[in-house]
Amino acid sequence: MDSTVPEVAYDFPPFLRIYKDGRIERLRGTDIVPCRLDPETKVLSKDAVYSPELNLSSRLYRPHSTSPDKKLPVLVYYHGGWPPENPLPIAYDDSWTALQWLASHVNGDGPEEWLNSHADFGQCTRISGGKEPIGAEVEFLEVKSKVDPIWQFVCPASSGLDDPLINPLVDPKLDSLGCSKVLVIIGGKDFLRERGRHYYEKLSKGGWGRCGGR
């Protein structure tokens, strides 16, 4: 074997490859689109620092002034950007910090009060975990076998694929989520679409009369 060829320690295509010498190759790149006014949608984006100590920011998207949709989408930049340098659950902690910052800048309430009083608040969560396949996932067991190990790698302290951090379907606190409306959007060709569908169904059965699905 050629000793000059770096040996691979972890290989998670199409996301990243980590070599035994410590080098990390990100297969999808790391470029961040600059803030701008989108000429087609007229949506203006702006970065706002929510943690000066850690130099962390959120990207806010303001719809055009004539748009009937008054919601304010927020994209949170996580600590350090990506695992494995900063493993989960640090991204969850950063999201909570960003929510606290946003709540204090809206009306001075704490995050719990703000969630309960703002009906238009929503959270984007990718439901991507679960030890046992559900629904049509049985047709993609080979894909699942390649995707599942990534979770333990990015979150070494996790209890596994049924950890509520990745599989909220098993979270006993799911029905007490503190907001008044939920919109679940599922990609029709997404391998993980069954997770999103089950998430919607469980919320609907749990008393969420204002749970919309797409």
Q: Report pLDDT digits (tens) over 2-59.
A: 567 889 999 988 888 999 998 989 888 778 889 999 999 888 999 999 999 888 899 9
> How many domains, in total, are found in the chain?
3
Q: Same domain, yes or no, for 110 and 164?
A: no
User: The tokens 């990718």 sit on which residue?
Assistant: 126
Q: Same domain, yes or no, for 45 and 76?
A: yes
Q: Is 200 helix (H, G, I), strand (E, B) or coil?
A: helix
Q: Band of the pLDDT at 91, cuts 50, 70, 90? A: confident
Say which amino acid occupies 193: R
Q: Same domain, yes or no, for 158 and 192?
A: yes
Q: Is the pLDDT reported for residue 134 higher than 70? A: yes
Residue 101 makes CB contacts below 8 A (sequence gap 6+) with 50, 51, 58
Q: Same domain, yes or no, for 132 and 204?
A: yes
pLDDT at site 120? 45
Q: Same domain, yes or no, for 165 and 100?
A: no
Q: Same domain, yes or no, for 163 and 108?
A: no
pLDDT at site 72? 73
Q: Same domain, yes or no, for 103 and 133?
A: no
Q: Same domain, yes or no, for 41 and 56?
A: yes
75 within 8 A of 98, measured Cβ to Cβ: no
pLDDT at site 12? 87
Q: Same domain, yes or no, for 92 and 132?
A: no
Highest mean pLDDT among 96-110, 169-183, 190-204: 190-204
Domain boundary among 84, 103, 120: 120
Q: How far is CA 91 from CA 8, 81, 118, 137, in A?
A: 26, 9, 24, 27
Q: Same domain, yes or no, for 22 and 45?
A: no
Model's pTM, two decimal places? 0.73
Domain boundary among 99, 120, 141: 120
Neighbours of 145 (CB within 10 A): 9
Q: Same domain, yes or no, for 2 and 37?
A: no
pLDDT at site 35? 94
Residue 127: closest CA among 181, 75, 198 = 198
Question: Which residues span the domain enclosing 138?
Answer: 122-214
